[in-house]
A and B are shown apart, each in its own frame.
Chain A
Amino acid sequence: MNRAERIERVLRRMAAERVDTLIALSNAKHHLARVNLAAHLMGYRALGESALVLRADSSERLIITPAYDGERAALRRPEPPLTASDDLAASLAELLRQRAHGRIATTGLGAMPHDLALRLLDIVGKDAVPFDDAVNEVTAPKTDEEIANAKKAVAIAEAAHEHMLAIGRAGMRECDLAVEMNLYAKELGANDNFLMLSCGPHQQGVGASSNRPLQLGDVIIAESTPAYDGQFCQICRSASMGPPSNVLAEKYALLVRAMRAGIETIRPGKKVSDVAGAIDAVMTEAGYEKYNHPPYLNRRGHGMGTGSMAPGDIDVSNPTVLEEDMVFVVHPNQYLPETGYLLCGEPVRVTATGCEKLSKTWAAIEALKG
């Protein structure tokens, strides 16, 4: 699929719901785990708040702020006509005045900053249809460009992990290790990185890096999620400061086995809950059924922004049916009483007959020299 085909899917849905004008709004927050359908449809990470206005006749216009970001927008997305403005609401109002807009639908309004949202509400009117779910539903698969970018992001994540193994040492603060990984990822081409990295001898969960120094005997856990041209993709890894204990190696191998079981179920037509269920089954069989639920874990994986989070959280309660070209990470990340919280996760793309693992390596417990 390419961007034009994604827009075509949205236009068909607009026709079905008798929507004449779709206004997709972006709050300029481009996050791994938050839906930003305007960015998803634009394929562009705007510096300020922005909007894509899509008409039923397939004409479209991008309104971006601030005006000086117009040069960058035109470079990134030369196709749609562009309005570069310092006042999104005023430019949108002017655009809607120029031509009858008919029935309006919006996405992203609830995420816009309050002051601006009030002005936008005045412009689109109270009858504007919330269209977030509809757009999200029909644009779940990634485009070819996004898939290619996801693969580049994964390659950067794997290289950054190797870099971490090479440079991490006792006494270094975990935040300094994270910052160095981010700089390294940027040098390899990443434009952002959702990097949760924490360490400790027995962790309850993963968090944003603190000033805590690494110590021998720590387990470092990291969700490394670089973005390449706006597309995030994630690997999850664990490593020990010094040689891993036998029990750590054994329990980590169990998590990897559970992850493989989940990945093996993936193909079009399967439900997300099947993937999570396969992971849970391995853990249950090993005697960890109690730990298959919060607070011992958060989720068994998730979709990849920026833009759409489809197919959502990998969880036994998620009935979403997998489609070709959905991209997500499968991560059994969880707490085990013998080891504390561990991370292992691999990104995948759903193919016509199964799935393609996007990472070159498989998660394995590794050791820093310390």
Chain B
Amino acid sequence: MRILESTLLTGPYDWDERILPRSEYEGRLERVRAAMAQAGTSALAIHGHPGSYGELAFLTGFTPKLGATLALVPREGPLRILAPGTPKMMDVAKRLTWIDDVRPLGNVPKNVAEFVGEGNTLATWAFAALPQGLYGGIAGALAPRKMLPLDQVLDGVRRRKSPRELELIRGAARFLAKATDAFAASLRAGKGVRSAALAAERAAIAAGAQDARAMASLSPGGVPLPLDAVSDERLLDPANGAIAVQNHGYWASGYVSVARKPCTAEARAREALAAALRDAQPGGRLPTGVAANTIGLSLEEGPGSPLEVGAVYAMTASAADGCETAYTSALVAVKEKGCEILWQSGPA
């Protein structure tokens, strides 16, 4: 699910050791450093920005509320975060992470080159989304050495969820249920889609979500889209919603269709999802008509197929009837023996 990026994140993002203790991050760091050793690199830089920061948060807990942020990870010794903002803003930034060394971005290419040191190779994670100007500056400072993307291996490390992570996604799923219920209830009460989306966001926040984003269709049975104009308020039947909610960094997302009378598209979408859930197993693939992606600290952490043990999937089935489409979704944790459904959109 892709959401319109906010200019500034405002929710409760300070690191809470009771929720994700230092030992959780130390375990992750150990696995990341093992991957660095295997790749023969002694330095890793991780990029995150307000629209996508799952990789950065995985290792540091840091949510980049204001803009592009880098974490610098040596093979040994303390980590460092280069964060946007003035030196006086760093005390507030330090509250976001278990890392002690948080500094302003400053001259990023120079700071990164000094961190890497002479003769060493810089491994990178999530640099594909780094702004080209900044990427070029870092590449220039390290030249002629090339950077080594470690995305593939580190994405794999991140996809496998710990028991604590799974519990946080369960929490997000509970907020998602509140939000989808509020969305449907608002529409059934005769409200327009913008009001329904706002009601969904309010319900999730009231339940304790860190962030909530709701989109809705702009035409009957249309694809859910960002509602960023007052004129988006319209009465639709059927109406589709796409909702994402966050709990201590972890996302849950799903689609819901709301129709006043039964429609064949919705029934077919439900059948397709039910079949996919029935057959879901580690290593399995999803049938046509069911889309999925892994979910966690990012709304989309990786591909939806084949299903990997330890990963959590946001699955959505859709079916069309003329120009109207219906959606139904589920959140599924894949385990050694079968799958656990964390949430499923109910009849609306």
> Nearest chain B CB to A284's CB is how many angstroms away?
22
Which of B8, B14, B131, B223 sits near A110, CB closer than 8 Å?
A: B131
Given contacts A204-B88, A208-B65, contact A45 B128 (CB under 8 A): no
Interface residue B243 (Cβ < 8 Å from any Cβ of A): no
Residues of A within 8 A of B87 (CB): 295
Q: Is A107 an interface residue (CB 8 A)?
A: no
Interface string of B1-15 (1 = CB under 8 A from A): 010111111111110
For chain B, residues 204 to 230, give those with C-beta under 8 angstroms from any C-beta of chain A: 205, 218-219, 222-223, 225-226, 228-230
Q: For A76, list chain B residues within 8 Å (CB).
A: 229
- Taken together as a complex, chains A and B put the C-alpha atoms of A198 and B91 apart, in Å, by 12
CB contacts (< 8 Å) of A113 on chain B: these are 128-132
| Contacting residues, chain B, for A178 (C-beta < 8 A) | 10
Contact of A209 among B10, B51, B131, B218 (CB under 8 A): B10
Q: Mark B49-65, 1 if CB is under 8 A from A, else 0.
A: 10100000000000001
Complex: how many Å from CA A332 to CA B252? 42
Q: By the criterion CB–CB under 8 Å, are B86 and A295 in contact?
A: yes
A32 to B6, CA, bound (A): 10
Q: Tally the A-B contacts, defined by beta carbons under 8 Å.
A: 134
- When distances are taken between beta carbons in the complex, the residues of chain B under 8 Å from A193 are 7-8, 10
Which residue in B7, B14, B132 is a CB contact (below 8 Å) of A30?
A: B7
Partner of B219, one of A71, A204, A225, A227: A71
B127 at interface, CB cutoff 8 A: yes
Stretch at the interface among A7-15, A90-98, A182-190: A182-190
**Chain B residue at minimum C-beta to C-beta distance from A29:** B5
Contact of A182 with B132 at beta-carbon distance under 8 Å, contacts A71-B219, A192-B228, A295-B88 already known: no
Total B residues in contact with A, Cβ cutoff 8 Å: 49
Complex CA gap A186/B226 in Å reads: 13
Quote the shortest CB–CB distance from A226 to chain B (angstroms). Answer: 10
Q: Is the CB of A71 within 8 A of B2?
A: no
A229 touches B132 (CB 8 A): no
Q: A27 contacts B131, CB within 8 Å? A: yes
B13, B51, B66, B127: which contacts A29 (Cβ < 8 A)?
A: B51
Taking CB atoms and an 8 Å cut-off, the chain B residues in 186-240 that contact chain A are 198, 201-202, 205, 218-219, 222-223, 225-226, 228-230
**B130 and A71 contacting across the interface, CB-CB below 8 Å:** no
Interface of A is mostly: mixed
**Is the pair A195, B8 in contact by a Cβ cutoff of 8 Å?**
yes
Contact residue among B7, B12, B136, B218 (Cβ-Cβ distance under 8 Å from A192): B7
- Report whether B86 and A298 are in contact in the complex, using a CB–CB cutoff of 8 Å: yes
Assess whether B160 is interfacial by the CB under 8 Å rule.
no
Complex contact A208–B219 (CB within 8 A): no
Does A69 count as interface, using CB distance less than 8 angstroms?
Answer: yes
Nearest CB of chain B from residue A124's CB, rounded to whole Å = 12
Q: When A114-B132, A295-B88 are in contact, do A186 and B198 touch as well, CB less than 8 Å?
A: yes
Complex CA gap A28/B205 in Å reads: 25
User: In the assembled complex, how far is the CB of residue B325 from the closest CB belonging to chain A, in whole angstroms?
Assistant: 10
Closest to A72 in B: B225
Query: For chain A residues 209-235, which have a beta carbon within 8 Å of chain B?
Result: 209-211, 225, 227, 229-230, 232
The reply to whether A191 and B7 contact each other, CB–CB distance below 8 Å, is: no
CA distance A175 to B89 in the complex (A): 16
User: Roughly how many angstroms separate A175 CA and B65 CA in the complex, as a whole number?
Assistant: 12
A71 touches B225 (CB 8 A): yes
- How many angstroms from the CA of A227 to the CA of B229 in the assembled complex? 10
A142 CB, min distance to chain B CBs, angstroms? 18
Cα A110 to Cα B89 in complex, Å, equals 26
Q: List 24 A-B contacts (CB under 8 A).
A: A29-B5, A30-B7, A31-B67, A32-B8, A45-B4, A47-B4, A75-B218, A112-B132, A114-B130, A114-B131, A114-B132, A115-B128, A117-B135, A176-B12, A178-B10, A187-B198, A192-B6, A193-B10, A205-B88, A208-B9, A208-B66, A211-B14, A225-B7, A229-B228
Closest 8 CB pairs of A and B: A110-B133, A117-B132, A191-B228, A207-B92, A205-B88, A211-B14, A115-B128, A114-B135
